[in-house]
Amino acid sequence: MPLEMALWRVDGGNPVRLSPQGVPLEQQLEDMLERDPSMLGQRLLLIGRQVPTTHGTFVDLLAVDADGALHVIELKRDRTPRDVVAQSLDYGSWVTTLTHQDVQDIFLKYDSTQAFEQAFSDAFGASPPEDLNTEHRLTIVAAEVDPATERIISYLNTGYGVPINVVFFRYYQDGERSYLGRTWLLDTPIDAGASAPGKRGGGKEPWNGKDWYVNFQVDADGRSWEDGRTYGFVAAGGGAWFSRTLRRLPVGARVFCCIPSQGYVGVGYVIGTAKTFSETTLQVDGREQRLADLPLKGKYFWGTDAERDINEYVVPVRWERTRPQADAVWEKGMFANENSACPLRQKFTLSRLAAVFEVEEG
């Protein structure tokens, strides 16, 4: 049984209980959820309304959360509770088939005024995760359900980890004022981390196999982007976690270099394997020179062989286009990552950077 909500108006110390009523129109409730999907208990970005499935049916509302999980929101309308449960499960089977591109296409049909990545950034203050739709949630919005339906939903959710729950909205009228109250059927809300078993949909955007993101962390007492830009390299160090992904960059890879919290500052091609700072030589003014012998603006740690894990590692790059740190390129929704290097899959970012740096999109 769901926890029942009660509401009292207090006038002069005397409580007067308000009696709940049915929401006047379910269409009205759908409109309200579209305007503010956080009424369901967490921040959500709505990506579609009355979304057609491949089965000839329509999902009332489809949303995504900050972790990239999809939320199917289905209103009971005139169907029996058990019918809407079956329908929601059918929608869940359809949602698991949606790819990263499918999610973006659904959003574009719903809102063609901005890219999905930009809307996601507005909603959650961060770029979307590389993996979308690796989990999903099923939420049924109803005024009430019968005991058999309660047992079915509890059996699916708590017994088999099916991420399904029912949310009840209670409508209260007090003179000219109206109120909505919310309760859940199960005491574990839909965002508690349950995920559907078995096959999952979504995943990453396809990768072209050549484009990489490189995180060039600058610091007043550490590395300098002007050094990397002038002499042709990217670098990372201070521990194995920081340098290990950079050390995997293959020769020939195209790298888009990003300064965290500022933006992208260069694009170029890897022309050599990673080496420690003290071992690195670069072609400067037509001859091979030790990086350690060059007039550098930054400071780089290059310890003994016993300290190789915390050494600065350097990868030589032939830059195609660069710009000063002060002119870094950034738009909301662009890809960023804590790793020193990783595949750059996001078409939105690649498209913007190709235009800005005047290179092929790939």
Q: What is the pLDDT of residues 152-174, one digit of tens each?
A: 999 999 888 899 999 988 888 88
Mean pLDDT of the chain: 89
Who's near 247: CB < 8 A, 6+ residues apart? Answer: 274, 313, 315
User: CA–CA distance from 22 to each of 25, 26, 144, 168, 310 (Å)?
Assistant: 8, 9, 10, 10, 64
Query: Given pLDDT bands bounded at 50, 70 and 90, which one contains residue 12?
Result: confident
83: phi then psi, degrees, rounded to nearest 5: -65, -40
Query: Given pLDDT bands bounded at 50, 70 and 90, which one contains residue 192?
Result: very low
pLDDT at position 315, please?
97
Beta strands in 175-210 (DSSP E): 177-184
Express as a percent the part of the chain with pLDDT over 70.
Answer: 92
Domain locations in the chain as residue ranges: 7-184, 211-357
Express as a percent the part of the chain with pLDDT over 90.
Answer: 66
Matching CATH number, 7-184, of 3.40.1350.10, 2.170.150.70, 3.40.50.720, 1.10.510.10: 3.40.1350.10
What is the Cα–Cα distance from 105 to 99, expressed in whole angstroms?
A: 10
Residue 319 has pLDDT above 90, yes or no: yes
- Architecture per CATH, domain 211-357, reads as Roll (3.10)
- Nearest-5° Cα angle at 342, 296 to 305: 50
Residue 309 has pLDDT above 90, yes or no: no
pLDDT at position 23, please?
63
The reply to whether 7-184 and 211-357 are identical in fold is no
What is the Cα–Cα distance from 209 to 206, expressed in whole angstroms?
A: 9
User: CA–CA distance from 228 to each of 309, 322, 354 (Å)?
Assistant: 21, 10, 21
Average pLDDT over residues 338-348: 95
Of 55-64, 244-253, 301-310, give the lowest mean pLDDT range: 301-310
Query: Given pLDDT bands bounded at 50, 70 and 90, which one contains residue 13?
Result: confident
